[in-house]
Structure 1
Amino acid sequence: MSQIPKFGFSAFLKLLNTNPKPQTRLVRERYRPSGGGYDYHKSLRTRVQQVAFGELTPQQALDSTALITKHSERESARRGLKRFFEWQQQNPGTLETTDGLLFTSPKGLYKVEFTANFLLELDGRRTAVHLWNTQHPLSGQLVRAALCTVATRFPEHDRPDDIAVLSLQDGSIYKWSESDRQIALLGERLLEFLDNQFEVARTELGLPASPEGPSPQP
């Protein structure tokens, strides 16, 4: 039995917003042995939540980035924090925690985990917000399609009023509520498309067609 690849929502967005050739490489990399990988953006997310829930002041959070060893990670965290604080000033309100969601692709070949960094009322809706701080261009249409795949799988009694991605690269915010039926349909097609990509990768790497199936004979 082979492992089912699982990735977070930012990795999912990056995969969807990547051109075909590098996208194929990223899919194949999901089957490589890994010790868990290094979470480059954990330092930013941790500090955002510490500020959001009163553990640190914004200035303390910025000052604490001096403890981050890697220069590129330190600078990325500082930029992201500054942009988050600017956005928060324009969108004041009480930040809360909220549950995430783990779901499996239609063919069961990969899993996606949506994690909200906080819940905040925006435009009268309790909105679960996921932070994006990767230097990779995003298509608003693809982001909203991805948000639809999350929203339609949330148990209705637990689902926030809205789900969004806030880009700390340029301050853009993408919301599920801005989507229509065509965007929702695109989201389902993207899940199926990635399933096909993972299927091809399994064949090329000599893995069984199904994660539950036996490995092919040499």
Structure 2
Amino acid sequence: MINFGISAYLKLVSLNPQPQRTELRKRLSPSDKAYDFHRSLRLHANRLLTHGDSIENVLDSVGRITKPAERDSAQQGLRTLLNWRASNPVGIFEVKPHVYVSPNDVFKISFTADFGTVIGGRKCAVHLWNTKRPPLAERLVTSTLSMLKPAYPEVDNIVVLSLLDSTLISSLDDANAAAMGQRLAARIEEAILSVGEELHAPAVVLRTPPSTPQPAPRM
């Protein structure tokens, strides 16, 4: 069974069909574990929001990230997060992770909230998004979050906060939205099974050449 983190799953559903199959081939092919480009951002956001570390310490630590692209992404993301928090200074609480298993047990999604807070008077589990490509397909993200929401009875909504532009995408208390998320999950199951069949099919079918005709024996 494939295990998607929520960011990986949202990236997958936001891709067009052919890039989606390419992404699934990568996931299904034997390889070393993929490097998590955004792990540093999440760790530093966690230090800042849930462990009470100072802004100065966190930013100093981010400045020591050795890979320039990763460092720049984390710095930009934290700046956006700090600005968003300045406009939303409500208290922070922790939310336990939950796992969703697809209808036919083909994959699972681990939704890990980076923090919980109150937005618009509602308790929300918030996941941070900082990936530039592909752009999030808002309708599909909303349906996916609505599908996952029943696993989170302790909050009113589960939310993705984009650190690219401070956009919030939230689950809906809407059976139709949740049903759309289930249909989308079923299509992802079909794509996984299809790509899996392709990867395990032999690349070349060997055929036995016809034998050279032999002269009939003389009587």
Matched ranges for 1:19-34 at <5 A:
19-34=16-31
User: Could you say which residue in structure 2 is the equivalent of 1:193?
Assistant: 187
State the AA in 2 paired with 1:171. Answer: S
- What is the distance in 1 between the residues matched to 2:195 and 2:51? 45
User: Could you say which residue in structure 2 is the equivalent of 1:148?
Assistant: 146
2:159/2:171 contact within 8 Å kept: yes
- What is the distance in 1 between the residues matched to 2:163 and 2:88? 14
User: Could you say which residue in structure 2 is the equivalent of 1:169?
Assistant: 164
User: Could you say which residue in structure 2 is the equivalent of 1:182?
Assistant: 176
Matched, 1:82 2:76: no
Deviation digits for residues 87-139 of structure 1 (CA, Å, limit 9, x no counterpart) = 00001111111111112211111111100000101111111000000012112
User: Could you say which residue in structure 2 is the equivalent of 1:115?
Assistant: 112
Gaps in structure 1 of 5+ consecutive residues = 208-218
State the AA in 1 paired with 2:30. Answer: P
Deviation digits for residues 54-73 of structure 1 (CA, Å, limit 9, x no counterpart) = 44222321221121111000
Q: 1:25 deviation in Å?
A: 0.7
User: Could you say which residue in structure 2 is the equivalent of 1:9?
Assistant: 6
* Structure with more relative contact order (C-alpha pairs < 8 Å, separation 6 or more): 1
Aligned length, in residue pairs: 200
Q: 1:181 deviation in Å?
A: 3.1
Give the TM-score normalised by structure 2.
0.86
- The structure having more radius of gyration, on CA atoms, is 2
Between 160-169 and 33-42, the greater mean CA deviation after superposition:
33-42
Matched ranges for 1:95-106 at <5 A:
95-106=92-103
User: Could you say which residue in structure 1 is the equivalent of 2:212?
Assistant: none
- What is the distance in 2 between the residues matched to 1:83 and 1:59? 16
- The RMSD of aligned alpha carbons is 1.5
Q: 1:10 deviation in Å?
A: 0.3
Matched, 1:49 2:49: no
Give the % identical residues.
35
Q: 1:190 deviation in Å?
A: 0.4
Give the TM-score normalised by structure 1.
0.87
